[in-house]
Structure 1
């Protein structure tokens, strides 16, 4: 599993030290830096490009909520887990892209669960990252599709994403778009080592991902060779980020 690089942001030195100790006990997790206020945190994020930020909310010089919103505007934002002494901020905290909200004093087991949530890759993504060089992908090399032109055989290697649209699935490929009569679930089951889920209605060809871009309050994943850029769900954003870190 991917090593998660973590930045700790808290104005209390003892709180930072406690989180640092707890992180060292969590597998696949590496503390890479600390900051005592939001200004220093922004600089550290720019320098270190962490995968995860453990973030206090009430700090001198700026709110952790404001910092989380600012971080979410980055092209490839870190995941955020709030660590705070105040429970009244939970609702506004989850209006950001936060993946966790822990109350101080932070319990190491709760921290472990929150970190694992942030670092967890879905099974198809993990299979892709663990796949040995030269291993042949599973599944058909061509998919049969029926159109007004008759029966087409669509090369799977040319497909960049599969998007559910009403009762159909549209394959976006190098030559255009083709409607398939198979469900997204069926296609994921067969091609899960090559196509990863980024949204409940979209699978993308992992090896053809070229990046993330912000679209208002959402993110879209950009793919080589096609204009279609599927939405990434908030739930899947941390795992998509981790995947892009590995393959890009």
Structure 2
């Protein structure tokens, strides 16, 4: 697999080159010191994957990744950075992985193996879904937990529940808190989630039905979720219309 390494720090770049060069089936075809150089090198060398730093002069890694997405054969991007606060931006440009420095040999090998699988499928999964305005649609939600940055597949999310300034994300393996608003999430995923209450969005993927509770309130049943979520009266008609289309 053809790999390009982009980092403005030569020592960090050299270390990644050594790690990749020691792995079977991996070939470092280009190096770059900033995002602008990466674009030029990518056009010339056609890498399958780019190991990309984020904070770089002239053009940072996020902007470079945005431009790479528009190329005829966009490479997969794995961000390798010392800063965890860019995870949300990274997955908005559909990075395959986000590794924190110092990058371990095992983590890098696992990330490249993922890309190798994607490459055999012509990197179909790397090409981002797009909004109507042409911007990339996230496939993961990132959350800060005691483990660091945790990534939750959007397809695995059952619901979003607002609680004061945070939003609870209920997914297949539990719950996490994120610092995003329901409005932002509703606007980003209009065909995957529907609002049932001023403080709740539910996944259409897991929606099983709506029923009346013994207390006279409408509730929804979600596959894999024991709790019933309340549907406000103002959202009942809209939910019925959505369910009729499913």
- TM-score, normalised to structure 1, is 0.49
Higher relative contact order (CA 8 A, sep 6+): 1
- TM-score, normalised to structure 2, is 0.49
